[in-house]
């Protein structure tokens, strides 16, 4: 089952909008996130994570990650945000 909602996009934007990023506004971010592979509703958690922590958030430097098992946490890098939480690791 797949799920992508406005609430999810808003939560991630709220989490990273005050961090260093290259999107000009929420609309640009939403256009980008809607082009990403959809969040899997059967996953336990969903995170947005940077590929390179030293670089700003942007289309070339972040991914959505679905967590089904503890081993999936290896995909979560420093600076990630979990869906539903406005704090990052």
Q: What is the rounded CA–CA span in Å between residue 59 and residue 56?
A: 10
**Residue 3 pLDDT greater than 60, yes or no:** no
- Predicted confidence at residue 23, as pLDDT, reads 94
Q: How many whole angstroms from its chain centre is CA 10?
A: 11
Q: What is the rounded CA–CA span in Å between residue 35 and residue 23?
A: 14
Q: What confidence tier does 78 reach under pLDDT thresholds 50, 70, 90? A: low
Sheet (strand 62-67) strand order: 62-67, 45-50, 81-82
Residues 43-71 pLDDT 10s: 778 888 888 888 999 999 988 888 888 87
- Predicted confidence at residue 88, as pLDDT, reads 46
DSSP 57: B
């Amino acid at each position: 089952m797949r799920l992508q909602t406005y609430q999810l996009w808003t939560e991630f934007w709220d989490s990273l909008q005050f961090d260093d990023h290259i999107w000009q506004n929420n609309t640009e971010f939403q256009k980008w996130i809607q082009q990403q592979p959809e969040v899997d509703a059967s996953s336990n958690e969903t995170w947005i994570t940077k590929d390179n922590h030293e670089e700003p958030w942007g289309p070339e430097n972040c991914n959505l990650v679905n967590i089904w098992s503890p081993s999936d946490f290896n995909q979560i890098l420093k600076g990630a945000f979990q869906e539903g939480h406005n704090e990052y690791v």
